Amino acid sequence: MEPWQETKNGLVKVFKLRNFLKAIDFVNDVAKIAEAQKHHPDILLHSYNQVKITSITHEEGEITCKDYDLAKEIDLLLQK
């Protein structure tokens, strides 16, 4: 699994899913985690099966432990 990348825009990772429906399911699962944590990343679905997640703590204007915690939970989705 590719690691998350630290960029000036936040913690970023692109996930490649099997197909469009798997990508949509993944986005919905990420949304549930984000809502539970009250920490909402930017989510971009593109190329029918790729999902780009960008997380930054807007109040701080930088990457914080909230972003790393969210990233860890998102990665666990694909280990199920």
* Structure token pair of residue 46: 């593109």
The mean predicted confidence, pLDDT, of the chain is 96
Domain 5-77 homologous superfamily, CATH: Transcriptional coactivator/pterin dehydratase (3.30.1360.20)
Q: What whole-number distance in Å separates Cα of residue 9 and Cα of residue 57? A: 10
**pTM score, whole prediction:** 0.93
Helix (H) or strand (E) holding 16: strand 10-16
Sequence ranges of the domains in the chain: 5-77
Q: What is the dihedral of CA 76, 54, 59, 37, to 10 degrees?
A: -30
pLDDT of 69 over the 90 cut: yes
pLDDT per position as a tens digit, 45-68: 999 999 999 999 999 999 999 999
Tell me the pLDDT tens digit for each residue of 29-46.
999 999 999 999 999 999
Tell me how far apart the alpha carbons of residues 64 and 67 are, in angstroms, rounded to a whole number.
Answer: 5
Residue 32 three-state SS: helix
